[in-house]
Amino acid sequence: MTSSQERIIPTDLSNEMSRSYLEYAMSVIVGRALPDARDGLKPVHRRILFAMYELGLTPDRPFRKCARVVGEVLGKYHPHGDTAVYDALVRMAQDFSMRNPLINGHGNFGSIDNDPPAAMRYTECRLQSLATNALLRDIEADTVDFADNFDGSQQEPVVLPARLPQLLLNGSSGIAVGMATNIPPHNLGELVDGVIALIHNPEISDLELMKYIPGPDFPTGGQILGRGGIKDAYLTGRGSITMRGVAEIETIHPRGRPEREAIIVTQLPYQTNKAALIEKIAELVNDKRLEGISDIRDESDRTGMRIVIELKRDAYPRVVLNNLYKQTPIQANFGANMLAIVGGEPQLITIKRFLEVFLDFRVETITRRTQYQLRKAEERDHLLQGLLVALESIDQVIQLIRHAADTATAKGELIERLNLSETQADAILQMQLRRLTALEAEKIQAEHEDLLKQIIDFRDILAKKERIEAIIEEEVTQIKEIHATPRRTEIIQGEGELLDTDLIANEQAIIILTEQGYIKRMPVSTFEAQNRATRGKAAAKIKEDDVIEHFLTCCDHDTVLFFSDRGVVYSISAYQIPAASRTARGVPIVQMLPISQEEKITSIVSVSEFTDNEYLIMLTQKGNIKKTALSAFSNIRANGLIAISLEEGDELRWVRLARTEDSVIIGTRKGMAIHFKADNQQLRPLGRATKGVKSMKLKSEDELISMDILPSQIVATIASNGEEEEEETDTEAEEIIIEEANPTGPWLLAITNNGYGKRVPVTKFRLQNRAGMGVRAIKFKNANDKLAAIHVVNPEDELMIITNRGIIIRQAVDAISLQSRNATGVRVQKLDGDDAIAAVALVPPAAEEEELV
């Protein structure tokens, strides 16, 4: 047997393949594809940042060619292709890829249309201030371990001393062997708040951390639908997060063509290619798989993104938008897979574990930094102590040095006679003569005392973990103050998701809808109570040709039902209506509901709970009234439900909630009112697709203006053969102020278009049969005056009145005088010029505070 044959070792092939492949797989996982949970970087990114730092490419220095940086990285640390290194460098400079870019790029670094960056010889770069402040600071202070590079000629950091959880801040994605990672980016300020919360309460749960870190924050903005996917990702490490672009429905005026509706897309989901999206939409339109679109164009410029999707005249904007969400990447899923290297091994980790790993690493880096600073301070103080000894015996030292044969002898004599160390003796021999002055001696003494204080402080930090945690909190707070930016991605309610009601306070709200279809929501607390007859506050920025049409008060958890003139009902939750300031116009209602331009919302009702013993009373413009069970509207389809069948030329105008025992009061423009029961004898329950029955007989040129419901407990006190109808004459009746009658309410509140109003005891409106003429409710001051609204009110109620121009006044009901039916009332709101009262609503009772999850 030859010597070469003697070196052959028989090996099982399957075992050898398994071992070799496993070594290769771990090499890819740890050394290439997966980020380290401590600094959130893969080796290539870490090497690029460190090489740039070594080259001095800090934010205050000039830009340097990217080719120079790539060459430095390849030659010293990363022996792979230059394309891989340059691609990694480019991504760290793209503000649409990184939530907080780490590199400041100069030149063409690509675009959201997937345009490639310019060649590395043309582009320039330097570090962003966030990279130096939050990743590279203190790297010289022995905070992290260094290892040999690929050929042993250089040392490179194993990890960077990150001051922020960079892995969550900018996210990461990578495909290894047999596993992959996909971590979404987050908001810097929210991450800092989460870190601080974990420091203060180490037992905090993942769910409680979601109060501070509600979800990802993508660099391209957009929206996240629901919190279910976020919760799965944070609690289990895996979850599907639904992203959606931001699209608005606007009326545009194309040059030379009539105005039409268009969908304007201003933000896209993370990592969506804009050019490919437009091409996809055009392809779907050409294949007839997407209806209602007449034109699509990209009007994006350096001020922002703007994709205009023009609609055909007969298209329903909301339906087209929903189809775009369903069939195109305007809505996409982010498959979160929170996999990272922890302790040298790949681990699937939760949101709390992410922060714990970061905090443990941060404690270690601060401990090592403090030990380094302590060591340096002790070494310096040791030298200073030697210099102080020499200064005390300066004559002896000078004589000793002068008589020494050489430096080595002088050094030995100093060590022996003055009991110094070699380091101290060297420092004395190197001391310049100018250090012998009294001033220099004082400086040495002062520096020695200062170092003693520092040494005590460093030792105290090392002895107390709470001191280290306080330093971590201080440092992350400083970074937050410098680098934090507002959240870009909005988290909105997901379809069929119930979690949001647990996370949203059930506050009192006002909902305003204008004639031209702009809707918004505001807290009732925006308007404090005012005195009667004052002007009020502006509640909306109204266009010159627009007026307030609907005004509703409710609570944020309520379901809001929108009834259109065509007899169709739509439904959304109150908190889904975008909140806005007093001076904001609001958003078009067509963005919220799938209604056409010709369809108009005529009534809004808020429902807290869909119970079996409640009904909706519906009244049309021509006076048809019907009662339908509220439970019939508990599941309203996305495109609405038929609520009532209408005669030709009729419109659904008023809808109110009522019980069978309640009664109905209807008011007319000329000041008449009819009061009848809502029981099954007067109003029997009907299905949704029915017309109803006649409600009231009207005089010539009169019309219905309002309807309200009188609670059952009051109806019982009003005798069916109550007060006889007062005779109506042309002479002015005396205005009688009722002092004692029915002081506890309820009353009928009557408000005229010119700002006058009064309370009348409901007992003054006898119960009649349906379809009667009714009785007079108010007498007008002028012939042009009209009744604007009627409401049933109680002593504790507050009302809010809004004018056509959007001026709101909030006042207590008892501030309005109690008068007879024939009285004209008192001024309740001072009006400007030709302004008029548009609507009246009652402030809902304050909702009980709910504990937030």
More confident residue, 502 or 142: 142
Alpha-helical (H) ranges within 259-311 are: 274-286
**Is the per-residue pLDDT at 474 higher than 90?**
yes
Q: For position 221, what pLDDT does the model report?
A: 92
Asked if residue 93 lies in contact with residue 101, where contact means CB atoms within 8 angstroms, the answer is: yes
Say which range, 164-173, 215-224, 380-389, has the weakest mean pLDDT.
380-389
Q: 1: pLDDT confidence band, cut at 50, 70 and 90?
A: very low
Q: For position 44, what pLDDT does the model report?
A: 92
Tokens of 182: 């996909």
Alpha-helical (H) ranges within 139-217 are: 166-170, 188-200, 206-209
| 224: nearest Cα among 269, 173, 172 | 269
**Is the per-residue pLDDT at 494 higher than 70?**
no
Q: For position 489, what pLDDT does the model report?
A: 93
* Strand-pair category, 345-348 with 238-244: unpaired
Q: What mean pLDDT is predicted for residues 465-473?
A: 93
Q: What percent of the chain has pLDDT over 70?
A: 88
Q: What CATH superfamily classification does 504-842 receive?
A: DNA gyrase/topoisomerase IV, subunit A, C-terminal (2.120.10.90)
Asked if residue 776 lies in contact with residue 790, where contact means CB atoms within 8 angstroms, the answer is: no
Q: For position 580, what pLDDT does the model report?
A: 79
Q: 25: pLDDT confidence band, cut at 50, 70 and 90?
A: low
User: Cα separation of 534 and 515, whole Å?
Assistant: 25
What are the phi and psi torsion angles at 629 (to 5°)?
A: -60, 135
Averaged pLDDT score across all residues of the chain? 84
* Strand-pair category, 339-342 with 345-348: antiparallel
Residues labelled as active-site residues: 122
Q: What mean pLDDT is predicted for residues 222-248?
A: 91
Where exactly are the structural domains of the chain? Answer: 20-186, 246-329, 504-842
Q: What mean pLDDT is predicted for residues 138-160?
A: 92
Q: What mean pLDDT is predicted for residues 638-645?
A: 86
Tokens of 111: 């675009």
Tokens of 608: 């807290």
CB atoms within 10 A of CB 16: 10
Q: What percent of the chain has pLDDT over 90?
A: 40
Cis amide bond preceding 746, omega within 30: yes
The DSSP symbol for 499 reads T
**Is the per-residue pLDDT at 740 higher than 60?**
no
Asked if residue 686 lies in contact with residue 626, where contact means CB atoms within 8 angstroms, the answer is: yes
Say which range, 185-194, 549-558, 756-765, has the weakest mean pLDDT.
549-558
More confident residue, 462 or 587: 462
Asked if residue 654 lies in contact with residue 588, where contact means CB atoms within 8 angstroms, the answer is: no
Q: For position 94, what pLDDT does the model report?
A: 94
Q: For position 93, what pLDDT does the model report?
A: 95
- Cβ partners under 8 Å of residue 232, min gap 6: 238, 239, 240, 336
Q: What does pTM read for this prediction?
A: 0.69
**Is the per-residue pLDDT at 114 higher than 60?**
yes
Asked if residue 275 lies in contact with residue 283, where contact means CB atoms within 8 angstroms, the answer is: no
More confident residue, 844 or 406: 406
What are the phi and psi torsion angles at 677 (to 5°)?
A: -75, 155
Q: 329: pLDDT confidence band, cut at 50, 70 and 90?
A: very high
Residue recorded with tokens 């003139």: 565
The CATH code belonging to domain 246-329 is 3.30.1360.40
More confident residue, 749 or 441: 749
The distance between the two most distant Cα atoms of the chain, rounded to a whole number of Å, is 138
Class at the top of the CATH hierarchy for domain 20-186: alpha beta
